[in-house]
Amino acid sequence: MKMVSQALAVLIVSGASLLVIPAIAQSSEGTLSKQALEQCHQGRLAKDRDSRVAHFQQGQRLGEQAVAADEGSAEAHFALFCNLGELLRIDGETLTSLFGLRRMMKELDRTLEIAPAHLEALSAKGTLLVKLPGLLGGDVKEGERLLQQVIHQAPQAVNARLALARVRCERGRHDEAAVLASTALVIAQRQKQLDFLPEAEAMLQQATANAAKSKEHRS
């Protein structure tokens, strides 16, 4: 369970905040999907644990209703995925983490099965692949490919840049990581994506410090 907990602790499963949430047709399932995504977003902004849990649990209920109303809706599955993932991050090391992880991945994979070009889902999938250990389905090479694809197709992507920056840092490519993190921070500030600001700032600080240390060792 420790491996599951460590993996969940670093997941950025809120791909819904990657871009401006697209307009969803005002059908019943579309409205439910939009409301579920909004609950996921509000939960990530909430300061205390109880408020976060309440938002994510409500988001899960709305997402499940959206899926029940239209099983073929990519937005419904993605909204459910978002809230399931955030609940897992709160739960941490529990006996249900592995089962929860599988369910979360099932919703993400169903999203991409329905809509292979769903950029938020592609970003989330790439982030998961680069962070999960191989035993849990991780694949760094494929994850990087997906993240680069998202950045190419969505120049305003924040989450994908931060995930890729972490990979670059882990491989000692700190200057590249700093550029990615700096761009992500500027975009997050401009788009007022407040939930991404602390992570972007921390990633930029880490990459910049590591880059400086590397240069000192080479000199």
Question: What is the crossing angle of helices 159-170 and 140-153, to 10°?
Answer: 140
Q: Is the pTM of this model over 0.85?
A: no
Which of 174, 176, 133 minimizes the C-alpha distance to 151? 176
CA–CA gap between residue 219 and residue 216 (Å, rounded): 5
Per-residue pLDDT, averaged over 66-91, amounts to 93
Q: What percent of the chain has pLDDT over 90?
A: 67
Count other C-beta atoms under 10 Å from residue 48's C-beta.
Answer: 8
Range 2-139: architecture per CATH: Alpha Horseshoe (1.25)
What type of residue is 201? E
Confidence of residue 214 (pLDDT cuts 50, 70, 90): confident
Q: Mean pLDDT of all residues in the chain? A: 85
Average pLDDT over residues 170-180: 94
Instruction: Provide the b/e sequence for 73-93 (b: ≥16 CB within 10 Å).
Output: bbbbbbbbbbbbbbbbbeeee
- The ranges assigned to domains in the chain are 2-139, 158-211
Q: Is the per-residue pLDDT at 150 higher than 70?
A: yes
Q: Which of 54-58, 95-99, 194-198 has the lowest mean pLDDT?
A: 95-99
Would you say residue 32 has pLDDT above 60? yes
- Rounded Cα distance, 148 and 156, in Å: 13
Stretch among 5-14, 167-176, 206-215 having the lowest mean pLDDT: 5-14
